[in-house]
Amino acid sequence: MNQRRVVITGMGTVNPLGNSVEQTWEALLAGRSGIGPITRFDASHLPTQIAGEVKDFDYRDYFSGDLAKKAKRMAPFCHYAAAATREAALQAGLETIKDKSTIGISYGSGVGGLGVQHENSLVLKDRGHRRVSPFYVPMSIGNIAAGVLSMIWGVTGPNISLQTACASANHAIATAFMVLRSGMAEVMIAGGSEGALIEISIAGFGNMQALSTRNDSPETASRPYDTDRDGFVLSEGGATLILEDYDHARRRGAPILAEVLSCGMSGDACDLVAPDPQGRGAALSMKMALNQAGVSPGDLGYINTHGTSTPVGDIAELRGIAEALGDAADVPLVGSTKSYHGHLLGAAAGLEAVITTQALREQVVPANLNLDTPDPELPPLQLPRETVKASFSRALSNSFGFGGHNSSLLLGTAPQEI
């Protein structure tokens, strides 16, 4: 029996670069950073005072009826999921599919409603248990975005939520891919969202010495692979891809943007937060993705890396790429778009899958922003410092999370008519 082919028929995003795929792609090609001073709260007493905030966003634009009332109590990650999914669903024509039981959801978040948890903890301490919101639990648990999306779109197929830190969205997309391959659904809403730009997040990551403190120059703070990198920039947002069985998409005339060829996953078995310094887990994930699709390393044209701008993580991943690709390591163009939009935690992989799809569609690879002086410890890979017009049909998108969760998504150009 031939395996089902899985394609992408819609994409949407809300992130520091813009509130749509078009705005995001334009910002990338223009070399424009989405990082700036924190405006959500007074961060003047914190070592890190910069972040990637979603701008000009009103959640009320994305909810109606009874859900509009409920949305007031929802955490931001639910709002971002709703906005990103609307753009993706409209592009895919999701509303025209009559049988909603054939549509499922696989959505991730790294920390879910952290702000709701924090606020209610303060209420409990200061005002007692009776003042804790009765909506505290359903509005803070990480799976609630997937539940909200099912209600907005009335879809009743498989509904899954994943939480694997910064690999969450990639794992969600991979799970959606496997659900479609199994025949359990015809269409899957997949991706991730995050809304954790609050004081305790900046304090916590900051005390780990994981965040950049380049407060005087926010737009240059995220600088993966540069010798002067000093940590990642915390960001927020959401990204959604509509994955669909290829034959189903063709029958209904849906736009086919790219093909999902395979996925790879692995565990580092190394540390709570630090990656395997040699990138062995990352290499295994990438090799798995290539082997699953029968794609040789030399066929890769682009790798959108996890590349967060941390001293240890960046080197480990590139060592993993060198191991996974072997003699073909210098073939693909390699880069991290976190240099533009920062690190969206559980939503990062979703946004980067959108960007990788756009790169395949436009045959353009964004530059590595702020890569002024490449770290001398980097293996000899192609790390373009200018936007490159290229010709390629295969691309990898990597995302790795605390706990040693590794994920690689292999995408290809839209398949030709058979």
pLDDT tens-digit profile of 211-226?
999 999 999 999 999 9
Confidence tier at 310 by pLDDT (50, 70, 90): very high
Q: Given this model, what pLDDT does residue 417 score?
A: 59
Domain 6-252 shares a fold with domain 263-413: yes
Q: Given this model, what pLDDT does residue 127 score?
A: 95
**Residue 182 contacts residue 173 (beta carbons within 8 Å):** no
Instruction: Tell me the C-alpha distance between 328 and 299, whole Å.
Output: 9
Q: Given this model, what pLDDT does residue 321 score?
A: 97
Segment 253-290, tens digit of pLDDT? 999 999 999 999 999 999 999 989 999 999 999 999 99
Q: Given this model, what pLDDT does residue 416 score?
A: 75
166 catalytically annotated:
yes
Is the pLDDT confidence value at 36 over 60?
A: yes
Contacts of 417 (CB under 8 A, 6+ apart): 250
* Token pair in block for residue 152: 């907005």
Is the pLDDT confidence value at 92 over 50?
A: yes
Segment 331-354, tens digit of pLDDT? 999 999 999 999 999 999 999 999
**In the chain, where the domains are located:** 6-252, 263-413
Instruction: Tell me the C-alpha distance between 356 and 305, whole Å.
Output: 10
DSSP state of 185: -
Instruction: Tell me the C-alpha distance between 344 and 350, whole Å.
Output: 9
Report which secondary-structure segment, H or E, holds 169: helix 168-182
Active-site entry in 78, 166, 263, 270: 166
Segment 95-132, tens digit of pLDDT? 999 999 999 999 999 999 999 999 999 999 999 999 99
Question: 326: burial class by Cβ within 10 Å (0-12, 13-18, 19+)?
Answer: exposed
22 SS3 class = helix
Q: Given this model, what pLDDT does residue 3 score?
A: 86
Q: Given this model, what pLDDT does residue 199 score?
A: 97
Segment 169-224, tens digit of pLDDT? 999 999 999 999 999 999 999 999 999 999 999 999 999 999 999 999 999 999 99
DSSP state of 23: H
Task: State the fold for domain 6-252.
Answer: Peroxisomal Thiolase; Chain A, domain 1 (3.40.47)
DSSP state of 191: E
Q: How far is CA 400 from CA 158, 345, 349, in A?
A: 25, 10, 9
Q: What is the pTM of this model?
A: 0.97
Torsion angles phi and psi, residue 108, rounded to 5: -125, 160
Question: How much of the chain, in percent, has pLDDT values that exceed 70?
Answer: 99
* Token pair in block for residue 249: 């998409």
Contacts of 56 (CB under 8 A, 6+ apart): 19
Contacts of 20 (CB under 8 A, 6+ apart): 12, 13, 14, 87
Q: What is the mean pLDDT of the chain?
A: 96
As a whole number, mean pLDDT of residues 288-315 equals: 97
- Helices 348-362 and 168-182 pack at an angle, to 10 degrees, of 70
Report which secondary-structure segment, H or E, holds 103: strand 103-108
Is the pLDDT confidence value at 384 over 90?
A: yes
Segment 227-263, tens digit of pLDDT? 999 999 999 999 999 999 999 999 999 999 999 999 9
User: Is the C-alpha dihedral spanning 365, 299, 191, 273 positive or negative?
Assistant: negative
Count CB-CB contacts under 10 A for residue 183.
Answer: 9
Contacts of 95 (CB under 8 A, 6+ apart): 89, 153
Q: Given this model, what pLDDT does residue 418 score?
A: 47
116 SS3 class = helix
Task: State the fold for domain 263-413.
Answer: Peroxisomal Thiolase; Chain A, domain 1 (3.40.47)
